[in-house]
A and B are shown apart, each in its own frame.
Chain A
Amino acid sequence: MPLQFFTDPTYRENFFLYFPQVIPSLVIDFIALFVLIAIFFSGMIAPIAGLSVYIERRLSAKMQSRIGCNRLGPEGILQILADGIKLITKEDFMPKGADPFLFKIAPFFVMVGAFVSFAVIPFSSLFVLADLHVGVVFLLALSSVVVIGIMLAGWSSNNKWSILGSLRSAAQIVSYEIPLGLALLIPVLITGSMNLQEIGAFQKGGVNHWLIFFAGPFTIVAFFVYFISAIAEVNRTPFDLPEAESELVSGFHTEYSGIRWGLFFIGEYTNMFLISCIAVTIFLGGYHKSIANIPFVWITVYFSFFLLLHVLTFIPGMCKKMISGDSFLDVMMKNEPKALSRTSKMLCALISLFISVFLHRYHDESALIQTLVFISKSYFLVLIIMWLRWSLPRYRIDQLMDLCWKNLIPLSFLCVCGTMIWMVIT
């Protein structure tokens, strides 16, 4: 059983006792794991990242009164393939005076750090690559691998703008790891486990079992602390200082082109999906659909998804209207003739109808349903991250640090203490 190491806890405990004897088995295990990871990533994560790129391009186009890519394939969906081919066939350029080894290896750190984290994400109760007992710590550790890649890229490029970008990134990611870690500590406190599978299983049974609603205001605030810190961790607007285009040209990847730049790019979008996955696993009920099996309820959910985006725009400091008199809701749902064609609107309606009927049919949670629920929840958060990117300006470096050290860290400590007190009292 090559995967016994990852599936059987007793085997794993005995494993270290009889370490010398099982080395051949260990090698087989790891080869099997790598093959699995390779299939998993090429088959699932990479298309998801590519799809995010496409969605972001179309979404930003709608917000900006543009059309976006709509030429290649139906509604331009094949544009991502064309972009990939272009990036691969471009010249692999390296500036004079760069450190060749570090320059070439840097993008892999970013991509690997993003991709390997998916090993512990439970897409369903059965579908998790490595059911680690220290899943939360594993995620935190891997999020630090990304910063190594960014530092190497900035240092090896022999460019002042790159080094400024990578130094910003180092300061930012290291600082924001503290509130992020503290926010992730709260679910660990509640469930008593660092295993993401168990944290997910803990939230079975409906919205009121989600960890975001576990300890009143404290877990809700913890979720927002996590989400803000996570956006800062993956360098998305309004925290995109490391690659601030208008200030640092392109920040740490100024000198990169071709597929090496593409790896940074894929890494960014994978990271975006990853933080959404973690948020869903830990706070938003994981792969459980958490809603009663009535089609009407599901249709309501799909409408409230758009409604929520509409309501969120009234949060102070955010934009109220996104496009020529239309709110986000109008853009998504109503008549923006060039932005959303009738076919795609029909398609959206059909898909949501199909999903609601489909979810209604299957009372018991099969793995496929769970995976679908998980991915759609994650994509909801990805859409929010994209929406923030295209409507907010960028923080300055000192304001960024103030936000972290003066606001988020005290807030996250408060949440941890509050949750503990809440757990003792209730």
Chain B
Amino acid sequence: MYFETQYINDHQMELNMGPQHPSTHGVLRFIAITDGELIQRVTPDVGYLHRSIEKIGEKVTYHGFMPYTDRVDYVSAMTANHAYARAVEKLIQLEVPKRAHYLRMLADELCRMASHLIALGTYPMDVGAVTPFVHALREREKINDLLEELCGARLTYNYMRIGGVSFDIPAGFDQKVLKFLQEFDVFLQEFDALLSHNTIFVHRVANLCPISKEEAIDFGLVGPNLRASGFYYDIRKEKPYACYEELNFNVPIGRGFKGVIGDAYDRYEVRIQELKESASMVRQIMQAMPEGDCHGKAPKNIRPPKGFVYESVESSRGELGFFIASDGQPNAYRIKVRSGSFAAISMIEHIAKNIYLADLVALIASLDLVAPEIDR
């Protein structure tokens, strides 16, 4: 790692934030050159959570890699499952039953809600309010209960299979989902009342570190962070996968709700609205769930033809894509994961200038960084 200590003058201090720090969301390190509390330059240092997931992908079979994709982004594991399954299905040109598509979308949207709840919960905690975090996690527990009924796991689901999903929905699942969604509407109103219009919170994050549309595109920002900058881009709309074109939903974009477009408050508000959209999508999916088989007809030993494939889905943190290079063997020649948090963290050095230390914490929280997704 390259340190810039040689540039420090007498008025500056090198402040080492992390790898162990309460608000770095995992194991993440920032080297800040500060003048007192004012940050002049901050350099992210990634790699503390590198687990060689891409390398493991070259050693295990295509079916066997599925549990590892959970660990790419353990806050939103379903979408990683989905992206990998889609990449392999495209590689071997496998048809997926419609019910499996719907179950995947159901799992994706529930998981997106859980992930956004973590993002929106840790955000106020980094700004100093603890109670909204606990309320958000309480709701996430209910989603975890639902997903546990669906696939047996609460964090690393390993739910999707190449060609389908592992289990059909259990009996009485739809009633439980609808009951949860009713409670969830009440929770969202409360959360708004508790936090969204709180004067201190708005003062803290409105106009903080705005990212313009051009900057966001230059740095390859994706997902809610990109949409908060006012750019309409959602893979579910642009390149509809699964059966997203059959659902009716809006893509919220940042409009400068309390400050300028693309500030930290917009990134908060866009996620709040995405929660509402996801909730309505889950309702639609439960209504339009088709009958049929949900298990795929994938061969036991996948030996795909030679070639490259790249498939991505809209994860909670934006585009999550798997690139697979195959040389005809039962395991991949190369697997590369493209993740949203990695683009977001490269943004920090560019925008975090002349802000306070407290603002850096709020900025990290607003970008919804998840350390394992950065390092993989």
Contacts and interface: CB of A to CB of B under 8 A. Distances in A.
Contact of B127 (A323, A394, A397): A394
Interface string B178-200: 00000000110010011100111
Interface in A369-416: 390-399
A319 interface: yes
A321 B199 contact: no
B302 interface: no
B154 interface: no
A249 B134 contact: no
Interface string B11-32: 0010110000111000000000
Given A395-B200, A396-B204, A246 B15 contact: no
A419 interface: no
14 contacts: A64-B131, A65-B135, A66-B134, A160-B16, A237-B128, A244-B128, A246-B127, A246-B128, A318-B198, A319-B195, A324-B135, A324-B187, A391-B194, A392-B129
A326 to B, nearest CB: 10
B134 A393 contact: no
A65 B134 contact: yes
A240 interface: yes
B358 A247 contact: yes
A187 interface: no
A399 B129 contact: no
Contacts, number: 104
A317 B200 contact: yes
B186 A322 contact: no
Contacts of B37: 164, 168, 397
Give 6 nearest A-B pairs by CB, closest first. Answer: A394-B128, A317-B199, A64-B134, A393-B129, A320-B193, A246-B23
A238 interface: yes
Nearest to A399: B203
Contact of B131 (A246, A322, A396): A322
Contacts of B356: 396-398
B361 interface: yes
B126 interface: yes
B128 A64 contact: no
A20 interface: no
A339 interface: no
A365 interface: no
Contacts of B204: 393-396, 399
Contacts of A24: none
Interface of B: 13, 15-16, 21-23, 36-37, 124-131, 134-135, 138, 186-187, 190, 193-195, 198-201, 203-204, 356-359, 361
A246 B198 contact: no
Given A64-B135, A317-B198, A393 B193 contact: no
A212 interface: no
Interface string A71-110: 0000000000000000000000000000000000000000
A408 to B, nearest CB: 15
Nearest to B23: A246
A35 B128 CA distance: 41
Contacts of A319: 131, 193-195, 198
B134 A244 contact: no
A278 interface: no
B342 to A, nearest CB: 23
Contacts of B199: 316-317
Contact of B200 (A64, A168, A393): A393
Given A60-B130, A246-B127, A397-B358, 4 more contacts: A244-B128, A319-B198, A325-B190, A394-B127
Contacts of A245: 22
Nearest to B192: A320
Interface string A229-272: 00000000110110011111100000000000000000000000
B200 A247 contact: no
A76 to B, nearest CB: 19
A238 B21 contact: no
A316 B138 CA distance: 26
Nearest to B15: A160
Contacts of A396: 203-204, 356, 358-359
